[in-house]
Amino acid sequence: MSIVCVFGGTGFLGRSIMRRLGAQGATVRIAVRSPDRVRKVFHGSERDRIEAVRADVRERASVAAAVAGADAVVNAVSAYVEKNGITFEAVHVRGARTVAEEAAAAGVGRLVLVSGIGADADAPSPYIRARGRGERAVRETFPGATVIRPSAMFGPGDALFGTLADIVRLSPVLPLIGAHTRLQPVFVDDVAEAIARLLERPDSAGNTYELGGPRAYTLRELAELTLRLLDRRRLLLPVPFAIADIQARLLELLPHPPLTTGQVDLLRADNVASGALPGLRELGIRPKSVEDTVPDDLSRTR
């Protein structure tokens, strides 16, 4: 394929998608609210096959312009907090529908929607419910769309081990929300590789994939691993969800909140692949483990 339009291309996953597709030889069109940010995220030869356009999934005209002439579209936009007019409904439901509608109208051949394990249109959590409703909206509008549901992603600059490491460096106590919640961390580059392969596989159209790493861990186990890698000792303090909710609502007042109510909601239930849907193995990808990459990532920031 020649032109792939990626919404959310400067985000954590988006950056990996851009680099993987660029290495594959595709011309990648980044559709972002602030095109100037592209120059801060990508450097040197990485920019050679990148075209940055201004687009906001809440603005139909900008979406239509972004997808025009594209062979494929990837929607990797995500909002973890509602503020400044950005709501879960606007981004994950109406925005996802708009991207799907405009992609269909433009005759785009392939559409991949990045959702998440646990997405449920009937969930009590506004965030998780919006992800589920967004999947449904895309299916109604673009039946051949491929949906991917990654577990918690890790890699350089992630919000999982990076956040744990930051707390360890700053505090004698490491608070744990959902200490016994199980996660199946998946390497961000493996998710990007999966997307690249799905775009090349017509048989993936209309299917949903759950992407998880090779093993599941409790959050407490991940915290203990982080402490070992940083060679630190900290008191692990379980935090009840009722208190975590209050903390998250207060922290969401900050420009860049370290904790959101959406993240707290995700920790209320295990975030692991069900086994009922295809995943990385079916795409011929051997997932990297936490132990494969995290030690090097953290050692560079010790």
Q: Confidence class of residue 48 from pLDDT cuts 50, 70 and 90? A: low
Q: Secondary structure of the chain in the HEC alphabet?
A: CCEEEEECCCCHHHHHHHHHHHHHCCEEEEEECCCHHHHHHCCHHHHCCEEEEECCCCCHHHHHHHHCCCCEEEECCCCCCCECCECHHHHHHHHHHHHHHHHHHCCCCEEEEECCCCCCCCCCCHHHHHHHHHHHHHHHHCCCCEEEEECCEECCCCCCHHHHHHHHHHCCEEEEECCCCEECCEEHHHHHHHHHHHHCCHHHCCCEEEECCCCCEEHHHHHHHHHHHHCCCCEEEEECHHHHHHHHHHHCCCCCCCCCHHHHHHCCCCECCCCCCCCCHHHCCCCCCHHHHHHHHHHCCC
What is the rounded distance in angstroms from the CA atom of residue 150 to the CA atom of residue 164? 20
What is the rounded distance in angstroms from the CA atom of residue 196 to the CA atom of residue 211? 14
> Could you give the C-alpha distances from 216 to 159, 181, 290, in angstroms and in order?
17, 10, 10
- Among the residue ranges 39-53, 57-71, 168-182, 242-256, the one predicted with the least confidence is 39-53
Residue 26 pLDDT: 87
Contacts of 286 (CB under 8 A, 6+ apart): 280
Give me the DSSP letters along 17-36: HHHHHHHHT-EEEEEES-TH
Residue 163 has pLDDT above 60, yes or no: yes
The mean pLDDT of 5-13, rounded to a whole number, is 93
The number of helix segments (H) and strand segments (E) in the chain equals 12, 13
pLDDT in tens, 223-234: 999 999 999 999
Residue 45 pLDDT: 60
Contact (Cβ atoms closer than 8 angstroms) between residue 33 and residue 54: yes
Q: Of the candidates 56, 73, 55, which has an alpha carbon nearest to the alpha carbon of residue 3?
A: 73
Q: Would you call 37 exposed, middle or buried from its count of C-beta atoms within 10 A (0-12, 13-18, 19+)? A: middle
What is the rounded distance in angstroms from the CA atom of residue 225 to the CA atom of residue 233? 11
What is the rounded distance in angstroms from the CA atom of residue 290 to the CA atom of residue 295? 8
The mean pLDDT of 101-129, rounded to a whole number, is 97
pTM for the whole structure: 0.93
Q: Which residue has 């990007």 as its token pair?
A: 192
Q: Is 299 helix (H, G, I), strand (E, B) or coil?
A: helix
pLDDT in tens, 83-98: 888 899 999 999 999 9
Q: Confidence class of residue 217 from pLDDT cuts 50, 70 and 90? A: very high
Token readout for 252 is 């969401």
What is the rounded distance in angstroms from the CA atom of residue 289 to the CA atom of residue 283? 17
Residue 47 pLDDT: 63
Residue 43 pLDDT: 63
* Top-tier CATH class for 3-154+186-213+272-287: alpha beta
The mean pLDDT of 154-172, rounded to a whole number, is 90
Contact (Cβ atoms closer than 8 angstroms) between residue 63 and residue 75: no
